[in-house]
Amino acid sequence: MAYHVMTRIGPQQYVSEQGAYGYLIDFLKSCSATRVLFLHGTKSLKKALRYLPRVNELDIDVVDRTFSGECSYQEVDRVAQDAKEKHVDVIIGLGGGKVLDTAKAAAFQTGGVPFVLMPTMASNCAAWSALSVFYKEDGRCVGHRIFPNQSNLVLLEPRVILDSPYDYFVAGIADTLAKWYESESLLRQVEQNHLSIKYARASATMCRDVPLKHGVQAVRDMKKGILSDAWQLVMETNIMAGGLVGGLADQYGRATAAHSVHDALTVFPETVHLLHGAKVAYGIMVQLALERKWEEIRRLIPFYSALELPANLHALRLGRRSKQDICRLAEQAVTKDKTIHLLPFTVTADSVYEAIIRLEALTAETSQNE
């Protein structure tokens, strides 16, 4: 039987403060670890190195593995195989979302080796969630898998994340914002008075309120390298609040329209250079237009322009595309597999097309008035 709501709250332990990596030593001692597999990206290791504790001095063997660049089935197999052959006691993943997803999947594949996640960017909630998204070696998404175990420990060193590319941080803000807009109507559909749904809603509210209140300041501070309260709050919201919505609400904390529009955009080569969150940002706008929430769109426009997030086709460099192409975009957004159909009303290619066009008119008019 499939359960109605399966709650997966989060990592067993979480430390987010300067010096957090130091806790790794205590953790490894508490597991009596003698050998660990350390999976990391090249750039992320460079940035994190000065904050990492010297594990070797503890008489712990480190099996050092550089991430191949994609969370593919092959990469997961390679890491899991290594972990099994070398009989490691703990898997540690340090880097962006794909490194963390690979570490999670490899730990699961080894039969449940404890694992530690150390995100070096705040561009998604990979450190928090109990799932991995898989890609082909050529970068195409091939699905995801949910695991029964969460990580044993998540360590955030704010100074490392502050030093990461700020466009990833902005993309993370947009993806987090989408958590509110996408899950809001789903969460409203749950009739039972599940406490976990109420918590999910509180978390989703933070996904909207924290970035809208502190996001612009946070990005400004990050560009200057200032580890401010605003930045820290937005950074943790990207990683934790976003992850909590899906973790607490399960199927009611899922993506809906914004991510379907994102997926549809990937068909157009003009959007290849854009980060996931930037495409999702446009998706939020289309979703709001579908829901006819024009006031909410007006509220978001100044926020989008401050963060340079695309609010219309023009900003996506799709402004010169023909009517036919835009129809194709709308059709792609409503193919059968898309979560856009989870919205509580019928969505068709025509209604998406109409939403796109009305959004163009509204955003053009608002920017003229600025």
Residues making contact with Zn ion (CB under 5 A): 175
**Least Cβ distance, residue 125 to Zn ion (angstroms):** 9
Shortest distance, position 123 Cβ to Zn ion, whole Å = 10
CA distance 312 to 320: 12
Q: Could you give phi then psi for residue 310, rounded to 5 degrees?
A: -75, 125
Q: Is 276 a catalytic residue?
A: yes
- 266 CB-contact burial (10 Å; exposed 0-12 / middle 13-18 / buried 19+): middle
Q: Residues 131, 134, 140, 143: is their CA dihedral positive or negative?
A: negative
All residues at 6 or more sequence positions from 312 whose CB lies less than 8 Å from its CB, including other chains:
282, 285, 319, 359, 360, 363, 364
Give the max Cα distance, the chain.
66
**Which residue, 157 or 175, has its beta carbon nearer to Zn ion?**
175
Residue of this chain nearest to Zn ion (CB atom): 175
**Rounded Cα–Cα distance for residues 40 and 103 (Å):** 9
Residues 6+ apart with CB under 8 A from 340: 256, 257, 260, 261, 333, 334, 347, 352
CA distance 205 to 280: 18
The yes-or-no answer on residue 175 being catalytic is yes
Minimum CB distance to Zn ion, residue 203 (Å): 16
Of 40, 101, 175, 221, the active-site residue reads 175
Choice between 175 and 221, CB closer to Zn ion: 175
Q: Select from 331, 369, 370 the least CA-distant residue to 351.
A: 331
Residue closer to Zn ion (CB basis): 101 or 175: 175
Min dist CB 191 to Zn ion, Å, is 27
CB 83 to Zn ion: min, Å:
28
Q: For this structure, is 259 an active site residue?
A: yes
- Find tokens 């930045």 and name the residue: 231
Q: Closer CB to Zn ion, residue 175 or residue 250? A: 175
- Please, which residue, 222 or 284, has the CB nearer to Zn ion? 284
Whether residue 251 contacts residue 230, with contact meaning beta carbons closer than 8 Å, is answered with: no
Which residues are the active-site residues? 175, 259, 262, 276
